[in-house]
Amino acid sequence: MNTKMIITGTEGLTKEDFNSIRDIFKGGGLVAFPTETVYGLGADALNKDASEKIYSAKGRPSDNPLIVHIAKFEDLYAITKEVPDIALQMAKAFWPGPLTMIFRKNEKVPYSTTGGLDTVAVRMPDHKTALAVIEAAGGYVAAPSANTSGRPSPTLAKHVYEDMNGKIDAIIDGGEVGIGLESTILDLTGEIPMILRPGYITKKMIEAVIGPIAIDRAITDAADFKGKPKAPGMKYKHYAPKASLVIVEGNKEAVADRINLLTMEKQALGFGTGIICAEETQSLYGNGIIKCIGTRNKEETIARNLYAVLREFDELKVDYIYSESFYTPNMGNAIMNRLLKAAGHQVITVE
């Protein structure tokens, strides 16, 4: 398949591009597009055959449900059985934005979109092009992150191109995304609202609007939890770099000493090594490929660069990567959720 590249400027989609995207969706095709979190791989969410194609393009397990993206709040009513009051409060506070909410679905939403579940995840992205894409599709776009299953989510159109060229109809290049980590997922179908995936919108921000909520134990006890995460996608070994990734945490000098030691040991054995660190501590490292991921006092820089750095290390073919930890004040939980997964929970604590 020939994948068409569409580049948007500050004006967003041209009329001509809008029409060609509308035609692709009408024909049941797939279009990758930017959002404020990560790039999404979109299909008409109400077209069973179209959303099925997403699974094969990504190599995604068929029990892993997709998020339905909408552009207008009232469209939520057409695909759900009930919209609880707290959803209204949450939408008012955070939509459009990096928040996905889970509802009971109605018969309009095919099971291929929800991975066989009777619930549906819905999000209204805060991104001009994404909203135009949703309009072009007729209001409902099923879109997982636009990466091959198991690779880091794309934060640049070139990441989408690497994974999807030849497999989908079009890629819309809208430049680098703003946030760089996927949306916070909040389940509203249980007794108490529950975070199933941490993101830019934190527990504290949500509780300021709707009061106490829970976090899925699959996130809080991730290293030891043996049960089933409530978001099926959270059980897969996501974001796994090709190299073995180990996180070293503790005071910054001790962390640097240990990482330098580990790096030298591996290099002596002939392995390629990489280091992921913050700008503040970069000068403490001297060996192997050192990648500065961002600045600790601007945590959004760390969130935005994480996936790109993991992809860069894949290209560099290093065997071992050592990373500092990044428990920053707001997005720290989301950043570390992804980084710990990428590391398969290999953590060394030093004094």
Interface ranges with ligand TXA (CB under 6 A): 35, 37-38, 40, 64-67, 100, 102, 114, 117, 119-121, 123, 125, 143-145, 182-183, 185, 196, 230-234
Contact 1, 11 (CB under 8 A): no
28: left (phi over 0), alpha (psi -120 to 50) or beta: left
The 8-class DSSP code of residue 76 comes to: G
**Chain centroid to CA 231:** 13
φ, ψ at 58 (rounded to 5°): -90, -15
Min dist. Cβ of residue 55 to Mg ion (A): 12
The 8-class DSSP code of residue 34 comes to: -
Q: What's the 3-state SS for 145-209?
A: ECCCCCCCCCCCHHHHHHHHCCCCCEEEECCCCCCCCCCEEEECCCCCCEEEECCCCCHHHHHHH
Q: Which is nearer to Mg ion, 116 or 329 (CB)?
A: 116
Question: CB-based contacts of 325: which residues, under 8 Å, 6+ apart?
Answer: 247, 248, 249, 336, 339, 347
Q: Which is nearer to ligand TXA, 37 or 305 (CB)?
A: 37
Contact 191, 350 (CB under 8 A): no
The span from the CA of 67 to the CA of 144, in Å, is 6
Q: Which is nearer to ligand TXA, 202 or 273 (CB)?
A: 202
Min dist. Cβ of residue 297 to ligand TXA (A): 25
Q: In the stretch 142-171, what mask flags binding to Mg ion with x, by CB under 5 A?
A: ---x--------------------------
**Residue 64 interacts with which of ligand TXA, Mg ion, none, CB < 5 to 8 Å by class:** ligand TXA
Q: Which is nearer to ligand TXA, 119 or 129 (CB)?
A: 119
The span from the CA of 69 to the CA of 12, in Å, is 18
183 binds Mg ion (CB under 5 A): no
Q: In the stretch 107-136, what mask flags binding to Mg ion with x, by CB under 5 A?
A: ------------------------------
Min dist. Cβ of residue 19 to ligand TXA (A): 23
Element (H, E) at 249: strand 244-249
**Residue 40 interacts with which of Mg ion, ligand TXA, none, CB < 5 to 8 Å by class:** ligand TXA
For ligand TXA, which residue has the nearest CB? Answer: 233
Q: Which is nearer to ligand TXA, 199 or 288 (CB)?
A: 199
The span from the CA of 124 to the CA of 278, in Å, is 32
Burial 325-335 (b: 16+ CB within 10 A, else e): bbebeebbbbb
**Residue 143 interacts with which of Mg ion, ligand TXA, none, CB < 5 to 8 Å by class:** ligand TXA
Q: Which is nearer to Mg ion, 54 or 101 (CB)?
A: 54
One-letter amino acid at 35 equals: T
Q: Which is nearer to ligand TXA, 62 or 283 (CB)?
A: 62
**Residue 29 interacts with which of ligand TXA, Mg ion, none, CB < 5 to 8 Å by class:** none
Min dist. Cβ of residue 77 to ligand TXA (A): 17
Min dist. Cβ of residue 148 to ligand TXA (A): 11
Interface contacts to Mg ion, rule CB under 5 A: 145
